[in-house]
């Protein structure tokens, strides 16, 4: 079974719970996701693991073109519906999105898990067992955390913060036709500078139980 056929396989309705978490840089989103992972004893897949798994699957984005029959599945339809292009072949960036989306869906099919970034809330949007979280924080809180993390001045911390946030925003808006960090994109948006990370984990769990 090839990569393209796999795109449309899998039952989105099951008893497992998939948590997707996106975040502003410096908000502590990864630490919160890690605490949630440990509390629930379920795997956490961040952007690096998604890309690594995609590479392990030996999917070469350079070899994906519009004519590939396996692209006629859920992910490709979502992409085609929300992004217009005129090039004969899909660009490397677009092909990488499709390949990573396939990996995200594979993770979701494997059982309860936490998936970070890569438009995972959008990629899995037809799943009924998903809870989408966005972690924000006050700018001063993020700058102080990044200064400590990078052992840098506030100017460098601000530069890194804004650069990464812009990259995440552009990536999300490009492929989802939505707005990164906006309320209607997620089930829960929470300011991590207002609560302890442990409390945020509990808020996520309680909110997921109450989701209609």
CB of 63 closer than 8 Å to CB of 10: no
Using alpha carbons, select from 62, 65, 197 the residue that is nearest to residue 137.
197
Largest CA distance in the chain: 51
Q: What is the pLDDT of residues 137-191, one digit of tens each?
A: 999 999 999 999 999 999 999 999 999 999 999 999 999 989 999 999 999 999 9
CB of 163 closer than 8 Å to CB of 49: no
List the structure tokens of 104.
Answer: 């995200």
Residue 14 pLDDT > 70:
no
CB of 53 closer than 8 Å to CB of 103: yes
Question: What is the Cα–Cα distance from 159 to 126, expressed in whole angstroms?
Answer: 36
Using alpha carbons, select from 130, 137, 139 the residue that is nearest to residue 186.
130
CB of 189 closer than 8 Å to CB of 20: no
Q: What domains sit in the chain, N to C, each tagged with a CATH number?
A: 3-210 (3.40.50.300)
pTM: 0.82
Q: Is the dihedral of CA 15, 186, 135, 82 positive or negative?
A: positive
Q: Give the pLDDT confidence score for residue 89 in this predicted structure.
A: 55
Tokens 């996106």 correspond to 22
Backbone angles phi, psi at 41, to 5 degrees: 55, 50
Q: What is the pLDDT of residues 44-94, one digit of tens each?
A: 999 999 999 988 876 555 555 555 544 444 455 655 555 554 445 567 788
Question: What is the Cα–Cα distance from 45 to 51, expressed in whole angstroms?
Answer: 10
Residue 136's contacts (CB-CB under 8 Å, 6 or more residues apart) are: 23, 24, 27, 181, 189, 190, 191, 192
Using alpha carbons, select from 143, 114, 116 the residue that is nearest to residue 19.
114
Q: Give the pLDDT confidence score for residue 129 in this predicted structure.
A: 93
């Amino acid at each position: 079974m090839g990569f393209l056929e796999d795109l449309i396989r899998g039952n989105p309705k099951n008893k497992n719970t998939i948590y997707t978490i996106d975040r502003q840089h410096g908000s502590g989103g990864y630490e919160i996701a890690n605490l949630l992972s440990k509390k629930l004893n379920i795997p956490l897949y961040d952007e690096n693991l998604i890309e690594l798994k995609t590479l392990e699957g030996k999917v070469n984005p350079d070899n994906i073109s519009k004519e590939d029959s396996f692209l006629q599945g859920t992910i490709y339809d979502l992409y085609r519906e929300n992004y217009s292009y005129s090039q004969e072949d899909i660009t490397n960036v677009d092909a990488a999105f499709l390949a990573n989306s396939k990996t995200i869906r594979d993770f979701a099919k494997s059982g309860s898990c936490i998936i970070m970034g890569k438009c995972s809330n959008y990629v899995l949007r037809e799943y009924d067992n998903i809870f989408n979280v966005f972690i924000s924080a006050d700018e001063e809180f993020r700058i102080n955390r990044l200064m400590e993390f990078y052992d840098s001045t506030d100017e460098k911390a601000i530069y890194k913060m804004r650069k990464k946030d812009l990259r995440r925003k552009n990536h999300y808006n490009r492929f989802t036709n939505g707005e990164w960090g906006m309320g209607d994109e997620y089930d829960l948006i929470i300011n991590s500078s207002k609560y302890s990370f442990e409390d945020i984990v509990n808020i996520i769990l309680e909110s997921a139980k109450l989701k209609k």
